[in-house]
């Protein structure tokens, strides 16, 4: 009897030292809650985009979201996995995918992109948590490589006639459908100012969202508000967004020239998808570093690659490829900047 009690006591003591696989933090947050919160943060920019470009924006976004959810369910069924379409991850991918394509594309394009992003870029790599590329950006890269004409010419001008923006005095050409970055790269700063104006009216129209671009590139103001809310909730930290936007601003000023914003770093940030990418793409949990130092280096590298592609690359925008190029290096950066041990090594400290 005594030996049995001693054995049970030893077993209980041993169980106290058993540690399950990480992470060990308990929280009321869940994947589902985080995903739907991010989706909610993207709704205001989407609503504004509908007013800027027309109701076809809502149609393209709906097609993208429904396609991603359908491909997610079919992929999980085909691969013998539990169907998790209620967690919001496929909905978020669908919205982000719609946000990075022109508003005038054929509905077939987001369907094809959804198949590539969800099935190939996500589930063939193991599913959520195992993909090492951002699925939405991977879908955009696929469309840009497969349908370059449609992806670089399906721009729509802002719809005219909204008095709320009239006080800005913007001189955006209602006929031209060229994006600001395309005009800057191909025609230079003179043509840019002739088409889009200059001064505070230009900053105002770009910051509030009255300019050509992808569906989700309209309002920098609403995107920043959504990103700040995610930081407030603790879903993301400031390290990656600030590093991305800061490096773009600094390098745009350093490498300023006649064909690259003439030393105006603020305009370089507002004119493309930098803010969308910094807050909602580069901060993806799976494809970004976990350590704070790694996140800063990750963000700086994304900003540097963005400016390099904008200046020297064949496409006017570079944030998509910059993030995709850095995604596989996330684990490497975490390895380089892993935190120091907080406990002495076996055998005691010397």
Average pLDDT score, the chain: 82
The more confidently predicted of residues 20 and 179 is: 179
- The residues near 105 (Cβ < 8 Å, ≥ 6 apart) are 60, 150, 151, 154
CB 101 within 8 A of CB 60: yes
- 232, exposed or middle or buried, with CB in 10 Å at 0-12, 13-18, 19+? exposed
Question: What number of other Cβ atoms are within 10 A of residue 284's Cβ?
Answer: 23
Among 38-42, 194-198, 217-221, 321-325, the range scoring the smallest mean pLDDT is: 194-198
Q: List, for residues 263-307, the tens digit of each pLDDT value.
A: 778 888 888 889 999 999 999 988 899 999 999 999 999 999 999
User: Which one, of 233, 246, 227, lies nearest residue 296 by Cα?
Assistant: 246
Taking the mean position of all CA atoms in its chain, how far away is CA 303?
Answer: 13
Least confident of 11-20, 83-92, 143-152, 202-211: 11-20
SS3 138: helix
pTM of the prediction? 0.82
Burial 320-345 (b: 16+ CB within 10 A, else e): bbbbbebbebbeebbeebeeeeeeee
Q: For residue 102, which phi and psi values (nearest 5 degrees)?
A: -65, 150
pLDDT band at 161 (very low <50, low <70, confident <90, very high): very low
pLDDT at 338 over 70: yes
Q: 33-82, pLDDT tens digit by residue?
A: 889 999 999 999 999 999 888 899 999 999 999 999 999 999 989 988 88
Residue with token string 């077939």: 108
What lies within 8 Å, CB to CB, of 32 at 6+ separation is: 86, 87, 88
């Amino acid at each position: 009897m005594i030996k049995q009690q001693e054995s049970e006591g030893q077993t209980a003591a041993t169980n106290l030292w058993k540690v399950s696989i990480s992470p060990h933090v308990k929280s009321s947050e869940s994947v589902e809650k985080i995903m739907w919160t991010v989706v909610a943060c993207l709704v205001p920019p989407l609503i504004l985009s509908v007013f800027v470009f027309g109701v076809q924006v809502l149609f393209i976004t709906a097609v993208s979201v429904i396609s991603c959810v359908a491909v997610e369910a079919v992929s999980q069924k085909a691969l013998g996995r539990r169907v998790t379409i209620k967690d919001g991850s496929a909905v978020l991918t669908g919205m982000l995918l719609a946000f990075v394509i022109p508003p005038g594309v054929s509905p077939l394009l987001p369907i094809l992109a959804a198949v590539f992003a969800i099935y190939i870029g996500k589930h063939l790599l193991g599913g959520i948590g195992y993909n090492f590329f951002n699925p939405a950006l991977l879908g955009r890269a696929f469309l840009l490589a497969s349908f370059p004409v449609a992806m670089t010419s399906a721009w729509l001008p802002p719809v005219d006639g909204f008095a709320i923006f009239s006080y800005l005095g913007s001189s955006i050409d209602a006929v031209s459908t060229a994006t600001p970055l395309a005009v800057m790269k191909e025609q230079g700063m003179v043509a840019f100012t002739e088409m889009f104006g200059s001064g505070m009216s230009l900053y105002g129209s770009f910051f509030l969202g009255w300019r050509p671009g992808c569906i989700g590139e309209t309002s920098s103001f609403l995107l920043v508000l959504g990103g700040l809310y995610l930081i407030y909730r603790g879903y993301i930290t400031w390290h990656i967004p600030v590093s991305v936007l800061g490096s773009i601003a600094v390098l745009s000023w350093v490498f300023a020239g006649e064909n690259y914003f003439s030393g105006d770093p603020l305009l370089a940030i507002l004119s493309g998808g930098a803010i969308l990418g910094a807050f909602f793409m580069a901060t993806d949990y799976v494809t970004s570093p976990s350590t704070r130092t790694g996140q800063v280096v990750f963000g700086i590298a994304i900003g540097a690659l963005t400016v390099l592609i904008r200046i020297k690359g064949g496409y006017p925008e570079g944030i998509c490829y910059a993030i995709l190029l850095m995604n596989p290096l996330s684990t490497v950066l975490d390895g380089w900047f892993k935190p120091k041990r907080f406990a002495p090594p076996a055998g005691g400290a010397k």
